[in-house]
Structure 1
Amino acid sequence: MTAFLSVKDLFVRFSTEDGTVKAVDGLSFDLERGRTLGIVGESGSGKSVTSLSVLGLHDARSTEIRGEILLDGQELTGAPESVLEKLRGDKMAMIFQDSLTALSPYYTVGRQIAEPYRKHTGASKREARQRAVEMLEKVGIPNPSLRVDDYPHQFSGGMRQRAMIAMALVCDPELLIADEPTTALDVTVQAQILDLLKDLQQQTGSAIVLITHDLGVVANTVDELLVMYAGRAVERGSVREVLRAPQHPYTWGLLGSMPRLTSDVNEPLTPIPGTPPSLLAPPPGCPFHPRCAYTAEAGGEVCRTERPVLPPGRGAACHLSAERKRTVFNEQIKPRLG
């Protein structure tokens, strides 16, 4: 089956006073209609930069983008702004991280939802307002016919997030990118929003990219999982494969740093040592090697000098042998995970 969204060898560079930031470094992935791809990783790993590249929202004056971004066979890299404007909000849409700053404080929530609907469908103001009310009701906003005239500051955090989802879905996009849609929300509201995205996908058959740093969020939400580190994909596979039998030391670290209900309350969490590298000067070889506890087992020097390749399909970009990965995981990592 031909992928609806196909990203191949994507490189994104930002020019700054301190030098060139290598924000995304050779990223590739495919996504089919009706499927959900989860992209996970620490802050600064390139998740949001990738999503903004798909929508063409980077400033061309300071950004260099190379590679292919195909949406239903249409090349987006280097496409004219007029073409991207027709696609954004209509065929592809995005739920941004912070709803309070993404929504304008000067306009009512209803007007902000209605605006893209009018732009892409040619609907009248009355029709667009009615569509905004319908969308607010669809995402679970109480009394939508009244709340449509409220401003963003009059909505709670969870309601603003739902309003952003309504705005992103008002034109029934075929691709939805949700960038940390549950950030700063309590657990109950997180579950409601994730269930809402799943229900809307079942109704429309859209493709969804869910970006997060929380592996717990993606466990029961996505079909495929892509783990990013320092602008690169380090592991991918089905969500079941990656969470039940991870192959990369970075993924082991992400899982090991998560609290578990079965853990002793007095048992400390196991954080990943060190900090993510500067993307102004990422380390040579495997970008994770300065923080990796298994460099010596992989040969030491090879991790510091040779970039590991992520194989197609299920796999991890790591110099450890497949047999050694299984042994380390079963003997050292799995017992800690429970």
Structure 2
Amino acid sequence: MTTLTKPVEDAAPAASGAFLSVRDLYVRFSTEDGIVKAVDGLSFDLERGKTLGIVGESGSGKSVTNLTVLGLHNPRTTEVAGEIVLDGQELTGASNRTLEKLRGDKMAMIFQDSLTALSPYYTVGRQIAEPYVKHRGVSKREGRARAIEMLEKVGIPQPKLRVDDYPHQFSGGMRQRAMIAMALVCNPDLLIADEPTTALDVTVQAQILDLLKDLQQEFGSAIILITHDLGVVSNIADDLLVMYAGKAVERGSVRQLINEPQHPYTWGLLGSMPRLMSDVTEQLTPIPGAPPSLLAPPPGCSFHTRCGFTDLVGGGRCSAERPVLPEGRGSACHLTDEQKRSVFIETIQPRLG
């Protein structure tokens, strides 16, 4: 994985005391059509025992960011700049051997599609046991026993029998639980869950989220939960990071972003969610337009082409000047704090109910 020279103007101060610290992360992919600017100056921190939710539409850079943390991109086509520090260890530019020792042991990931992430050629138990045998240096028999233990822990019935089943013999919810078991088999300090409830029914979604919370309490893991659905993270995450076009546009606690969102994009995400007590005939309010191409992202604020409040800023500032996301609670938007409060109370909040 090659490195880029990062712009000086986007430099951010180093974090202190964070278990995972990402600073000024830039990720570029070389394609036949040009350079894809997948992540553009991203910074965030995560403490032990806490859950960070990263939300945004498809293509916003959520998964790319976390695959970069794990070092899973093709080094021939990927350029990376910035700092990724896990428990004091710099991961950017680390050797494949170093990253292989960390993956599955100190950090692990629950991938988005369990059916394709699990190999159809090996039993579920073997795949769960493999990282435990590799990183703990135990026998295959001990690995099998650990796999059975983890299947029981994640709620798979009759784990001693199901351990020898293949992925296609598991339901979608059971495969997702098996993926969680495989990710947690070595008690990782960092767990990245990429859309862990995709394609699952509402009941199973709730079970998976409750399972993550229970396992976090038991193992004390730091969790990054990637999703496009603010409703999924509202009951599990401590803090939220909203991404758009490879950039962070808003961050704060779950309570702050749900009750007092500041960025027009966050307003759009909330407005497009169904509400439990709303009239069944009420239509959702979609965000107009489509996310920009990361081959040629728009200048200034990346969201200005879809935003309905640029006239409040005026002077063409939104299309010319990139807004800065402040440290701590805040949003990358040229609207003043007073304008944000006024628009939210008068226009957005009535829609949300």
TM-score normalised to the size of structure 1? 0.99
> Equivalents in 1 of 2:184, 2:268: separation in Å?
35
Which of the numbers 151, 162, 174 marks the counterpart of 1:159?
174
Encode CA deviations 1:80-125: one digit per residue, 9 max, x unaligned.
0000000000000000000000000000000000000000001101
* Residue 219 of structure 1 pairs with residue 231 of structure 2: no
Gaps of 5+ in 1: none
Q: Which residue of 2 aligns with 1:7?
A: 22
Which of the numbers 134, 144, 166 marks the counterpart of 1:119?
134
| Cα displacement (A) at 1:300 | 4.7
Aligned pairs (5 A) from 1:171-182: 171-182=186-197
Q: Secondary structure of 2:41's match?
A: strand
Aligned pairs (5 A) from 1:162-201: 162-201=177-216
| Cα displacement (A) at 1:299 | 1.7
Q: Which residue of 2 aligns with 1:232?
A: 247
* Residue 253 of structure 1 pairs with residue 300 of structure 2: no
Gaps of 5+ in 2: 1-15
Q: Secondary structure of 1:178's match?
A: strand
* Residue 78 of structure 1 pairs with residue 93 of structure 2: yes
Q: Which residue of 1 aligns with 2:337?
A: 322
Counterpart of 1:58, as a letter, is: H
Q: Secondary structure of 1:289's match?
A: coil
> Equivalents in 1 of 2:186, 2:276: separation in Å?
41
* Residue 95 of structure 1 pairs with residue 110 of structure 2: yes
Q: Secondary structure of 1:195's match?
A: helix
| Cα displacement (A) at 1:38 | 0.2
The number of residue pairs the alignment matches comes to: 338
Aligned pairs (5 A) from 1:12-31: 12-31=27-46
Counterpart of 2:284, as a letter, is: L
TM-score normalised to the size of structure 2? 0.95
> Equivalents in 1 of 2:197, 2:257: separation in Å?
22
Aligned pairs (5 A) from 1:258-277: 258-277=273-292
| Cα displacement (A) at 1:262 | 2.0
Distance verdict in 2 for CA 1:296–1:118, change over 3 Å: same
| Cα displacement (A) at 1:265 | 1.6
Moved over 6 A (4+): none
Q: Which residue of 1 aligns with 2:327?
A: 312
Q: Secondary structure of 2:305's match?
A: helix
> Equivalents in 1 of 2:276, 2:149: separation in Å?
39
> Equivalents in 2 of 1:181, 1:109: separation in Å?
18
> Equivalents in 2 of 1:136, 1:17: separation in Å?
44
Encode CA deviations 1:194-242: one digit per residue, 9 max, x unaligned.
0000000001111000000000001111000000000000000000001
Distance verdict in 2 for CA 1:244–1:111, change over 3 Å: same
Counterpart of 1:314, as a letter, is: R
Range that drifts further, 178-187 or 258-267: 258-267
Aligned pairs (5 A) from 1:33-48: 33-48=48-63
* Residue 131 of structure 1 pairs with residue 116 of structure 2: no
Q: Which residue of 2 aligns with 1:303?
A: 318
> Equivalents in 1 of 2:179, 2:21: separation in Å?
25
Which of the numbers 38, 44, 51 marks the counterpart of 2:66?
51
> Equivalents in 2 of 1:171, 1:78: separation in Å?
24
Give % identity. 81
Aligned pairs (5 A) from 1:269-288: 269-288=284-303
Q: Secondary structure of 2:290's match?
A: coil
**Alpha-carbon RMSD:** 0.6
> Equivalents in 2 of 1:102, 1:211: separation in Å?
16
> Equivalents in 2 of 1:29, 1:158: separation in Å?
31
> Equivalents in 2 of 1:71, 1:195: separation in Å?
26
> Equivalents in 2 of 1:311, 1:223: separation in Å?
19
Q: Which residue of 1 aligns with 2:47?
A: 32
> Equivalents in 1 of 2:338, 2:209: separation in Å?
36
| Cα displacement (A) at 1:321 | 0.2
Q: Secondary structure of 2:143's match?
A: helix
* Residue 150 of structure 1 pairs with residue 150 of structure 2: no
